Amino acid sequence: MANPKIAIIFYTTYGTNHQIALAAQEAAEAAGAEVRLRRAAETAPQSVVDGQEPWKAQLEKMKDIPEVSHDDMTWADGYFFSVPTRYGNLPSQMAAFIDTLGPLWQQGKLVNKTITATTSAQTAHGGREGTIQNLYKSAMHWGTIIVAPGYADEVKFEDGNPYGYSGTAGKFDDLGKKSVGFQAKRLVEITARLNG
């Protein structure tokens, strides 16, 4: 398979994981993938969103990005997830989408696809590794193949997280872009090998 299909699926409140997803999209396309950029639906009450101008502005910025669907999950050969951490776990918006995947799981439609994940948190030890690992636990139930970056590139010794890129919210820098670029390229390459 020369051109694997990669779904880049993210949730963001203030924009960090949107930036990560865009960097992943650029790298995956440069590596030869066909890409769909998708966002998890916002489930917070509109009154709550409207009460925080940066949150409201970010939603407006993403209004043209389609919400992720079951069709995107079946279409893709591999998944690149990016989510903020919520107490060491997934945000409820992404968890709500994942909770709908039972029918696809039961039909075996997620088996042998690939997955990699990234996250961000307000602090350096705000549950980053746990968030990625919790997402990977769901993928194991699906029969999806985890493509963690490990220490397969020098950039991983710089950013220090073998599970997937994790950064500080609001500070997606050049090191982050380099790390996400490597992770997305690795996902494309491994997916192409598995489906070749």
| pLDDT tens-place string over residues 101-123 | 999 999 999 999 999 999 999 88
Helix (H) or strand (E) run with residue 23 in it: helix 16-30
Contact 68, 40 (CB under 8 A): yes
∠ CA 118-30-178, nearest 5°, is 45
Percent of the chain with pLDDT over 70: 99
Beta strands at 5-10 and 145-146: parallel, antiparallel or unpaired = unpaired
* pLDDT attached to residue 55: 95
Sign of CA dihedral 122, 9, 186, 19: negative
Contact 139, 115 (CB under 8 A): yes
Question: Chain centroid to CA 59: how far?
Answer: 17
Cα distance between residue 6 and residue 25, in whole Å: 9
Name residues of the chain where pLDDT drops below 70.
1
Question: Chain centroid to CA 120: how far?
Answer: 11
* pLDDT attached to residue 82: 98
* pLDDT attached to residue 1: 54
Cα distance between residue 139 and residue 105, in whole Å: 10
* pLDDT attached to residue 34: 98
User: E-strand spans in 107-174?
Assistant: 114-121, 145-146, 166-168
Q: What is the pTM of this model?
A: 0.96
Contact 31, 25 (CB under 8 A): no
